[in-house]
Structure 1
Amino acid sequence: MSAAATREGTSPAEFTGIDFSATGKQLGYGHVVHSDNVHDGSVIPVPVAVISSGPGPVALVVAGTHGDEYEGQILAHELIRELDPAQLTGTVIVVPAANSPAVRGAARVSPIDAGNLNRSYPGNPAGGPTEQVAALIAGQLLPRADFVIDMHSGGSNSTYLPSSFIYRGPEEALWRRKLRAVRHLGLPYAMVVAPLLEPGSLSSAGDLAGIPTISTELSGAGTVDRSALETMRRGLPALLASLGIAGPGAETGAEPCAEPQWLELVPESPVTSTAAGLFEPLVDLGDTVVAGQPVARVHFIDELDRPPRSFAARTDGVVAILRRPTLVAPGAHLLHIAPPLDISTI
């Protein structure tokens, strides 16, 4: 326990308003303790809802890991309001604003400690605010879960094809459960990345704990995509039903949705700027391109007689991620191209 936690008389892993052994709908918060000019003598609340009918499978639903990713936050709040414990056969734990300072600041990272929650797992209960949140989720919520869905979007800096986003493996049984969940969720695309791609992410924490974990990328651009919302409003109840947890508008044992288009992010996917200036995309999200095809250019701001620098695709595939801010610096990924993936070969 941190010295700050001792002074406040509470542990960073403590919850108010939540009894995990109780049934019904409980709305509470986890405690994050931090002493600065604003938060001294208080806690930073991390909202948590637990909706339970008693014994049965447990789903953990997380949103607001990055504060400027909004589709998942809206879906999580809707889930909290609409789930009826009497309709469940198990428990749904919902964390709608995991990095609550980032959510309130409309920022990717916490404005308190610049912490990126999705690079902070398993966390540290005696650390800074973001490390405490990671420890709260990884130490107190993740072990209760039979399945985890971590909802992301592109945020202010990028737009993604609306997709499920899954790490390979880490072993066969867990991988098959992820594939089944992706098919029930019903997003039009599914992006596959390397095992344990980001060691500090919730997906990696779930894989290391042996708990099937999938993520989403629901458009982005720092706004709300209505089409992605509607797809997820159908997909989340279907996913809960497939896990043996009944939900509104879903029947237990529901059939999977149509097969998504499977894509893979590979080392050649990023198209990276080597110039500073104004980014002009030459392709749109979802376009199919071939290696060597011009896909972007950057216009120089001060060199008025200099033509723009052109950038080409490094692999065949689909434009899966597109940068949003027009002003770029060297090293900025302008877009990502994801080759199609034959999922039957994995």
Structure 2
Amino acid sequence: MGPLTAGIAVETQRRTSGPALYGIELGRAGKQLGFAGLSHSDNVHDNGLITVPVAVISSGPGPTALLVAGTHGDEYEGQVILQEMIRWLEPEHLSGTVVIVPAANAPAVRAGTRVSPVDGGNLNRSYPGQPRSGPTDQVAELIAGTLLPKADVVIDLHSGGSNSTYLPSMFIYRGPDQRTWERKVSASRAMRLPYVIVVQPRLEPGSLSTAGDDAGVLALSTELGGGGTVDPGVLTDARRGVRSLLAHVGVLAAQPFTEVQAAGTVVAEPVWLELVPKSPVMATTPGIFEPLVGLGQRVRAGDPVARVHAIDDLERAPQEYTARLDGIVAILRRPSLASIGSYLLHIAPEFEAPKH
């Protein structure tokens, strides 16, 4: 298929309100490349649509996976993986359907910003969305109202963006019930990333993870490095991990490129971490952030982990910060200039791997 333009797109789903899908017929087998058309009126967008790329690749009946990236426009690893997947994945590789939204908050992706430059919307705080609101709410409503109910699993590919770097990890909400939690644990192991970061249920009520939990869909997320760039090693692990996870949930048929583990193969257990209220180390003075620890380093409560140097007060010694608990440095701030209230790093305590 060649590039899709609005001039040749065919609207296959009409609504009385909210975004429509162009060039996509949900439930049809084959490979379809299209877009969602968002209606918005301002000085730039008054005479056309804001487009959000969408791909649907299906072999017919079977489980459905919804893959999302570009929720924040400056998080690039997931976008690269899904753009690649759209090009190589064919219906004959599948035992079901993969729906791919590689640039979910498309205005933010095109601008390289965390939130939309059109309406200031943070897509991962906007679910379940509103069909007649701004573009960000429209995307949230399309994903939560149209795509998510058809899915058996949703994977929201995040990374640290321009402001932070994470350990390459699965990022999962506890709950919402024991059976779903066990499925999340199993799927996280199948992804084969070196870490799993666990957070409290409904950590962000407006997130896609919460929307998935509310819809009864297996909802998974990642944090794949960050720093406003792409780490080749993290990208390689995540690329392999997404294929492994799709095979695990029965969507991707066994093919050489899935790298499915042979029977009896022992896969390394990830390190299980949890973000808790004492995890963040917050700046209480503005200035230049100096990290005293590295990402992935183990620290103990009371260890010095950061300094902030005053810019104008030349006689003042830097403010030093210490860890409030034992754990591993899971998130590290990227910009060196910090303000009061900036999180400099997060320390996540380890916990025993779940038995199930």
When normalised by structure 2's length, the TM-score is: 0.92
Map Cα deviations across residues 144-171 of structure 1 (whole Å, 9 max, x no partner). Answer: 1000100000000000000000000100
1:278-317 superposed matches below 5 A:
278-317=288-327
Matched, 1:268 2:278: yes
Residue 334 (structure 1) aligned with residue 339 (structure 2)? no
In the alignment, is the contact (CA less than 8 A) between 1:244 and 1:253 conserved in 2? no
Taking the aligned partners of 1:83 and 1:272, their CA distance within structure 2 comes to 43
Taking the aligned partners of 1:32 and 1:273, their CA distance within structure 2 comes to 39
Please report the RMSD computed on the Cα atoms of aligned residues, expressed in angstroms.
1.7
Q: Summarize the Cα distance change of 1:14–1:257 in structure 2 as closer, same or farther, 3 Å threshold.
A: farther
**What count of residue pairs does the alignment treat as equivalent?**
339
Between the aligned partners of 2:124 and 2:352, the Cα distance in structure 1 is 28
Q: Distance in 1 between matches of 2:322 and 2:260?
A: 47
Match of 1:179 among 165, 170, 185: 185
Match of 2:332 among 322, 331, 342: 322
Q: Map 1:109-124 onto structure 2 (within 5 A).
A: 109-124=115-130
- Asked if 1:56 corresponds to 2:56, the answer is no
Contact 2:284 2:340 in 1 (8 A): yes
Q: Is the 1:185–1:257 Cα contact (8 Å) retained in structure 2? A: no
Question: What CA distance in whole angstroms lies between the structure 1 residues aligned with 2:17 and 2:49?
Answer: 10
Q: Equivalent residue of 1:174, what SS?
A: helix
Q: Distance in 1 between matches of 2:72 and 2:147?
A: 18
Cα distance in 2 for partners of 1:252, 1:74 equals: 22
Residue of structure 2 in register with 1:30 after alignment: 36
Q: In 1, are the aligned partners of 2:128 and 2:206 still within 8 Å (CA)? A: yes
Q: Which residue of 2 aligns with 1:214?
A: 220
Q: Residue 13 of structure 1: CA displacement?
A: 3.0
Contact 1:191 1:263 in 2 (8 A): yes
1:9 CA drift (Å)? 9.3
What's the CA shift string for 1:312-335, capped at 9, x where partnerless? 001100000000000111100000
- Per-residue CA shift, 1:37-94, capped at 9, x if unaligned? 1111211111100000000000000000000000000001011111110121000000
2:164 to 158, 162, 169: 158
Tell me how far 1:345 sits from its aligned partner: 7.2
Q: Which amino acid is 1:290 matched to?
A: R
Q: Give the structure 2 partner of residue 89 of structure 1.
A: 95
Counterpart CA distance in 1 for 2:86 and 2:200 is 32
Paired residues of 2:271 and 2:353 also in contact (CA < 8 A): no
SS at match of 1:204: helix
1:67 is matched with 73
User: Does the alignment pair 1:134 with 2:140?
Assistant: yes
> Match of 1:133, SS?
helix
Mean Cα deviation higher: 14-23 or 52-61: 14-23
Same amino acid, percent of matched pairs: 61
1:178-257 map, 5 Å: 178-247=184-253, 248=255, 249-250=257-258, 257=267
SS across alignment from 2:170: strand
SS in 2 for 1:192: strand
Distance across 2 between alignment mates of 1:146 and 1:119: 22
Deviation at 1:257, TM superposition (A): 3.5
Q: Distance in 2 between matches of 1:97 and 1:212?
A: 21
Cα distance 1:9–1:60, how it changes in 2: closer, same or farther (>3 A)? closer
Helix, strand or coil at the partner of 1:344: coil
> For residue 46 of structure 1, what is the aligned residue in structure 2?
52
Q: 1:316 to 1:252 in 2, by over 3 A?
A: closer
How far, CA to CA, are the matches of 1:103 and 1:270 in structure 2?
Answer: 28
1:3 maps to which residue? none
Paired AA for residue 250 in structure 1: T
Structure 2 CA distance for partners of 1:254 and 1:52, relative to 1, 3 Å: farther
- Quote the offset at 1:250 in angstroms: 2.2
Unpaired segments ≥5 residues, structure 2: 1-13
Picking from 144, 147, 154, the partner of 2:153 is 147
Give the secondary structure class of the aligned counterpart of 2:258: coil
Query: Structure 1: 5+ residue runs without aligned partners?
Result: 1-7
C-alpha displacement at 1:252, in angstroms?
Answer: 7.1
Q: Which moved more, 1:319-328 or 1:254-263?
A: 254-263
Shift >6 Å, 4+ stretches: 251-256
Contact 2:154 2:219 in 1 (8 A): yes
Deviations 1:9-58 (A, max 9, x none): 97423100001121111000111110011111211111100000000000
